[in-house]
Structure 1
Amino acid sequence: ALRKQNLEVPSGRIESRSREFTVLTETDLKTPEQFEALIIREIDNYPVRLRDVGRAEIGPERTRSTIRVDGLPATALGVVKQSTANTLEVANAVRAELPAILAALPQGMKFKIGTDRALFIEESLSAVYTTLIEAMALVVLVIFLFLRSFRATLIPALAVPVALTGSFLFMLIMGFSINVLTMLALVLAIGLVVDDAIVVLENIYRRVEEGMPPKQAALVGSGEIGFAILAMMVTLVAVFVPLSFLTGSTGRLFQEFALALVGAVLVSAFVALSLVPMLCSKLLKPTTHNRFYTVTEGWLQSLFKLYERMLRRALKLRPLVVLAGVIAAGASYFLLNALESELAPFEDRSDFVAMMITPEGSSLEYTEAQVYAMDEIIRSIPEVKTSFMVTSPGISRPAPINVGVGFVTLTDWSERTRTQFDITRELAPKLFALPGGLAFPINRASLGVGGFRETPVQFVIQGNTYEELEESVTKMMARAREYPGLVNLDTDLKLNKPQFKVTVNRDKAANVGVTIADIGRTLETLLGGREVTRFKRAGEQYEVIVKLADEDRTNPTDLTSIYVRGRGGELVQLSNLVGLRETVSPKELNHFDRLRAATIKANVAQGYALGEVLEFLETTAAEILPASSRIDFNGVSREFKKSSQGLAITFVLALAFVYLVLSAQFESFRGPLVILVCVPLAVSGALLALLLAGQTFNVYSQIGMMMLIGLITKNGILIVEFANQMQDQGIDKTEAVIRASALRLRPILMTSATMVLAAIPLALATGAGAESRHPIGWTIVGGLIIGSLLTLFVVPTAYTYLAGDRKPSQDSETEITDELPSSDGQII
């Protein structure tokens, strides 16, 4: 009746000689009153209208969901950016439209932003900008302390912005955006840019101090150091390029980071060999030194003398130096095992998610009551700014009504003394104590990995049958509950959803002339709702849904009270044709990699890391699961496994690339081994720093490890290159490496100090996203400090063992004077 009497068809037109009229037949229904007046049947010439058997009303299409904002009923509008859109641009555009939206709202309604992910990105970028400025200031300061000349300090200070401008141009050509990772790359690039500039500047500055004219000093000094600069540039490029080929979500994120650093390294080498010598020729002047220079120069000369004496003694005890180096390098194995591992540290994003899961079969009203109780606890926290609660959010299909999600926004980072993690730790026991369901907070994963409601632990069990899976999951859940590192355990394999099973007696149905389709369609229409037609309102088209009133389907007996029409139009009560039985059924049956699967989900408890939790689950599965079962990982856990393996392979490849590149440059397979012996020493220092700072071994610290390959090999390149030059000039190998080490001590200390100071703002960062900057900062600080100190003794020792004897050139006697340190370590 609804379809026949609610339709819209074109009726043509009427044409006269001078005019034309369009004929519009109003055959559609527009208001609830018109629908209720609809005649659906005539009995004994008496019309039966819709209002006689039911009612028509305008209402929401989906009623199995509710929303509350700060405890008040609300409706929500989500803005989701396209995959290629910029988050900040979209957020700013939406904010610009808010005044117009507010003006258009009916009186009494309010508009509020429930959650805004762009705020964290904006604050993170602002914090990185601050770190960039801090790093530049510290780097310039350390250069001045070593050179004690404003003119000399000005040269690398000018080189940094020029090199960064070139890096931005490279990013523009590559199509990169300014984001947290590319800005982090530029913060680290400050140290790389200054390193190259310092090496060139120091060599030229030393010659100017010896009395050489600035222009000639710039030509001779840059030419002498040019090979080492190119070797360091190629080494760093060889380290970072493999990072750009990482796969997976994490790999794609770090492609821009790696290539931005590559661009900075290339521009840095170009600036160091072009702009820096030119500035040196114009700005450096032989001058009389001030009192500060005189006092500090004495300290530096004492340091140089002390180092040379210690190095000479160390080379007399070479086996002990080798043993100490082996012990220091071997310590990395024990330090790595002592560190907790995870994908990435959780960041204080000033928001978190709260989950509520009620028992299977819970009604919407029951779940809503539990979500409201959770909301009351959350809003009692003084740092909570906005509480946005959704009951049955419809984030999966079929949409479960026993799930509630809360999006909680905290006050600004500067307005609170507690971190997001302090707040969620306080909330966790309070929410868990709620008797009506399982409630817990979730800190969102970093790097955009996993959905907003996904827990870090996603352990997948695959089997042949769901019965086998149920047994396996039950055993694993029992063992997992005993392990203190897992909290808020849950699984997606739930076979306890209440269900009424309707069994049709086909013989009886056939006898009374009722088809199976009639029974199925009747139940579908009355209990589930069925779209039968459409109507227009205010220019929009809406569905007309037929269903049984909610109050008429509250008890199981309501199902059997339904009637269907049989032969001759007679009404037949459904209870005469069907049997009704209460059972349970699976909530959902999932597959993973085309195999039947179940997933165990959990949060990681405080004091534990994702790596050790997954290791426990793997060990437990190997002990108790049958041989036919398989295990896998999903979400954050899967990305953690993939990224760990990928970065380990990339680390090995980077070492191999560096070795091959250095072998080609030094035309030797033994020389690069001397340089690379410093890498395990730096790794041990980095791991020790991470352990002492309370950090974890994660993707950021692993990226820092790869950076160390290029950073620490710079020191070895300087020593080996100058030692080779001195051998070419006729000096004995041992004496050559001693003199080269003493000669290069100042640039080694300066470059190491500048890179360490560039990384300290990262290690001590505060504010939004600081947790992700800490690991890479501490990795570089610890690796460079300990690695550089050990390198000063281990590399010269390795050189005496591994480097070959080089034949002196014909004019060696005339080249070595006035540029080598004297036997007592004095720089001439």
Structure 2
Amino acid sequence: MQLPPLPGSSGGLPVQMVLRSPDDFKTLYETGEKLKTAAYASGLFLYVQNDLSYDSPQAHISIDNAKASEMGVTMQSIADTLAVLVGENYVNRFNFHDRSYDVIPQVRGGERMTPEDLGRFYVKATSGALVPLSTVTRVEMRPQANQLTQFGQMNSATLEMLPAPGVTMGDAVAFLQSQPLPPGTSVDWLSDSRQFVQEGNRLLVSFCFALVVIFLVLAAQFESLRDPLVILVTVPLAICGALVPLWLGYATLNIYTQIGLVTLIGLISKHGILMVTFANHIQHHENLSRIEAIEQAAAVRMRPVLMTTAAMVAGLVPLLFADGAGSASRFSIGIVVVMGMLVGTFFTLFVLPTIYSFIAKDHRAAAKSPRARELATAEAPDVAL
């Protein structure tokens, strides 16, 4: 199991579901076992482990108060006797051959192995007589929780799960979130599942913010709201291509793949800018229709687009074969950007021209406007007579 590369992430299996409840640990254990059974039945998980179990036997000593009072045995004397005989309490230290040792008084191991052995101990009554503990007590074996943990100041149990091959983190978390829970029981997450749940919405907000910023910059550059839409039409398609390796299980949706996806938005937009800028220039100066302009732009700009993609992919290939410390993070960034660039370039060359022919601005009309003629005259070089 590869340890998480991010600081603050807990180790262990990728999906860790924390059940929190004000109820006792027995109820919490039963809830965890029901979820464990449902997880196995779903076929989405190869391994499910509940860290809370009730397989630890514990001896419970019940005191007959009436009989103890009758025989002059106090609760304090019973507690003191058990503490000395089986409590393993440190009382002093002694030196032997220049070494110091702890003094821990207790009964021999063979005389305290079973619950019945506790009844053979003697406790001193107020009269000075020695009374067997079996006379005033009853020993009963009960199952006890192996650990008593709390999460967020509430009793907790953690289910660690390993998704089956081909099962994404989103599918695993969505299934667990759909399971019914008793009233008062809440869920938290650890490990990779915590990062997925906390940053899922943030990723969408980051993408939307990046798209809005790029759209506003392009709208100011092209002085149009339709041309930026044409340029950004390949962004969702490129992102879909970048998510294919994640769907195949080569990487997970983590902070590094998110960085790669945001970077991909800016890189793939450059291809659209190259084609749309050249098509607008042809419309303006050669008085061509949108279809004719984008056809010529696709043919002329195909080589720069392919060379840009080839250079970018070649620069990222070393990340795909990196090894050593941090190789998983570099691979996550590389695989997302490489696949996104390849798929986005394909759609830029074949899909963007179609979208341009339908919704792009007709720059022939702008070229015929008085303002355009005035600017063209101002830009024309002076001719000496």
Normalised to the residue count of structure 1, the TM-score between the two structures is 0.39
The residue that corresponds to 1:747 in the other structure is: 304
SS at match of 1:755: helix
Instruction: Tell me: CA distance 1:628–1:798, structure 2 relative to 1, closer, same or farther (3 Å).
Output: same
Deviating more after overlay: 496-505 vs 709-718: 496-505
The residue that corresponds to 1:698 in the other structure is: 253
Give 5+ residue unaligned stretches, structure 1. 1-442, 816-828
Q: Which of 556, 568, 580 is equivalent to 2:139?
A: 580
SS at match of 1:780: helix
Deviation at 1:516, TM superposition (A): 2.0
Does 2:174 match 1:615? yes
CA distance in 2, matches of 1:537, 1:653: 73
SS at match of 2:131: strand
The residue that corresponds to 1:780 in the other structure is: 337
CA distance in 2, matches of 1:673, 1:536: 85
SS at match of 1:530: coil
CA distance in 1, matches of 2:246, 2:46: 26
CA distance in 1, matches of 2:97, 2:204: 61
The residue that corresponds to 1:500 in the other structure is: 59
CA contact (8 A) 2:59 2:142 kept: yes
The residue that corresponds to 2:76 in the other structure is: 517
Instruction: Tell me: CA distance 1:636–1:687, structure 2 relative to 1, closer, same or farther (3 Å).
Output: closer
Instruction: Tell me: CA distance 1:535–1:673, structure 2 relative to 1, closer, same or farther (3 Å).
Output: farther
The residue that corresponds to 2:271 in the other structure is: 715
The residue that corresponds to 1:661 in the other structure is: 217
1:99-118 CA-to-partner distances (Å, cap 9, x unmatched) read xxxxxxxxxxxxxxxxxxxx
Q: How does 1:786-801 map to 2 (within 5 A)?
A: 786-800=343-357, 801=359
SS at match of 1:567: coil
Deviation at 1:678, TM superposition (A): 1.8
Q: Which of 309, 315, 321 is equivalent to 1:758?
A: 315
Deviation at 1:559, TM superposition (A): 1.4
Given residue 599 of structure 1, which amino acid in structure 2 is its aligned partner?
A: T
Q: How does 1:430-509 map to 2 (within 5 A)?
A: 443-448=1-6, 450-452=9-11, 454-463=12-21, 465-466=23-24, 468-509=27-68
Deviation at 1:561, TM superposition (A): 2.3
The residue that corresponds to 2:85 in the other structure is: 526
CA distance in 1, matches of 2:209, 2:200: 14
CA distance in 2, matches of 1:480, 1:794: 43
Deviation at 1:538, TM superposition (A): 10
Does 2:161 match 1:602? yes
Given residue 38 of structure 2, which amino acid in structure 1 is its aligned partner?
A: R
Instruction: Tell me: CA distance 1:731–1:465, structure 2 relative to 1, closer, same or farther (3 Å).
Output: same
Deviation at 1:712, TM superposition (A): 0.3
Q: Note the aligned Cα RMSD (angstroms).
A: 3.7
The residue that corresponds to 1:313 in the other structure is: none
Instruction: Tell me: CA distance 1:687–1:609, structure 2 relative to 1, closer, same or farther (3 Å).
Output: closer
Deviation at 1:682, TM superposition (A): 1.4
Deviation at 1:811, TM superposition (A): 4.1
1:540-573 CA-to-partner distances (Å, cap 9, x unmatched) read 9775433333233222232122233333544333
CA distance in 2, matches of 1:533, 1:804: 96
CA contact (8 A) 2:5 2:326 kept: no
CA contact (8 A) 1:715 1:791 kept: yes
Instruction: Tell me: CA distance 1:811–1:531, structure 2 relative to 1, closer, same or farther (3 Å).
Output: farther
SS at match of 1:564: strand
Deviating more after overlay: 510-519 vs 642-651: 510-519
Q: Which of 104, 120, 124 is equivalent to 1:565?
A: 124
CA distance in 2, matches of 1:657, 1:447: 31
CA distance in 1, matches of 2:96, 2:268: 72
Does 2:376 match 1:810? yes
CA contact (8 A) 2:166 2:249 kept: no
CA distance in 2, matches of 1:643, 1:592: 21
Given residue 810 of structure 1, which amino acid in structure 2 is its aligned partner?
A: A
SS at match of 1:558: helix
CA contact (8 A) 1:729 1:812 kept: no
Give 5+ residue unaligned stretches, structure 2. none
Given residue 84 of structure 2, which amino acid in structure 1 is its aligned partner?
A: T
Instruction: Tell me: CA distance 1:671–1:537, structure 2 relative to 1, closer, same or farther (3 Å).
Output: farther
Given residue 310 of structure 2, which amino acid in structure 1 is its aligned partner?
A: A
CA contact (8 A) 2:10 2:190 kept: no
Given residue 34 of structure 2, which amino acid in structure 1 is its aligned partner?
A: K
SS at match of 1:446: coil
CA contact (8 A) 1:674 1:803 kept: no
Instruction: Tell me: CA distance 1:647–1:479, structure 2 relative to 1, closer, same or farther (3 Å).
Output: same
CA distance in 1, matches of 2:49, 2:297: 63
The residue that corresponds to 1:121 in the other structure is: none
CA distance in 2, matches of 1:552, 1:771: 56
CA distance in 2, matches of 1:535, 1:654: 71
CA contact (8 A) 1:679 1:712 kept: yes
Deviation at 1:689, TM superposition (A): 5.8
CA distance in 2, matches of 1:674, 1:717: 9
Q: How does 1:263-412 map to 2 (within 5 A)?
A: none
Deviation at 1:787, TM superposition (A): 1.3
CA distance in 2, matches of 1:597, 1:534: 40
CA distance in 1, matches of 2:66, 2:183: 47
Instruction: Tell me: CA distance 1:475–1:694, structure 2 relative to 1, closer, same or farther (3 Å).
Output: closer
Deviation at 1:792, TM superposition (A): 3.0
CA contact (8 A) 2:230 2:356 kept: yes
CA distance in 2, matches of 1:563, 1:493: 36
Instruction: Tell me: CA distance 1:590–1:562, structure 2 relative to 1, closer, same or farther (3 Å).
Output: same
Instruction: Tell me: CA distance 1:593–1:660, structure 2 relative to 1, closer, same or farther (3 Å).
Output: farther
CA distance in 1, matches of 2:61, 2:312: 73
CA distance in 1, matches of 2:245, 2:68: 78
Deviation at 1:459, TM superposition (A): 2.8
Instruction: Tell me: CA distance 1:810–1:615, structure 2 relative to 1, closer, same or farther (3 Å).
Output: closer
How many equivalent residue pairs?
A: 368
1:746-776 CA-to-partner distances (Å, cap 9, x unmatched) read 4322211100112233335567765554443
SS at match of 1:583: strand
1:257-311 CA-to-partner distances (Å, cap 9, x unmatched) read xxxxxxxxxxxxxxxxxxxxxxxxxxxxxxxxxxxxxxxxxxxxxxxxxxxxxxx
CA distance in 2, matches of 1:521, 1:662: 82
Instruction: Tell me: CA distance 1:543–1:663, structure 2 relative to 1, closer, same or farther (3 Å).
Output: farther
Instruction: Tell me: CA distance 1:512–1:473, structure 2 relative to 1, closer, same or farther (3 Å).
Output: same
1:170-223 CA-to-partner distances (Å, cap 9, x unmatched) read xxxxxxxxxxxxxxxxxxxxxxxxxxxxxxxxxxxxxxxxxxxxxxxxxxxxxx
SS at match of 2:158: strand
Q: Which of 197, 208, 218 is equivalent to 1:652?
A: 208
Q: Which has the higher contact order (CA 8 A, sep 6+)?
A: 2
1:197-250 CA-to-partner distances (Å, cap 9, x unmatched) read xxxxxxxxxxxxxxxxxxxxxxxxxxxxxxxxxxxxxxxxxxxxxxxxxxxxxx
CA contact (8 A) 2:45 2:161 kept: yes
SS at match of 2:104: strand
CA contact (8 A) 1:445 1:636 kept: no
Does 2:109 match 1:550? yes
Instruction: Tell me: CA distance 1:521–1:663, structure 2 relative to 1, closer, same or farther (3 Å).
Output: farther
CA contact (8 A) 1:445 1:456 kept: no
Q: How does 1:70-89 map to 2 (within 5 A)?
A: none
CA contact (8 A) 2:17 2:190 kept: yes
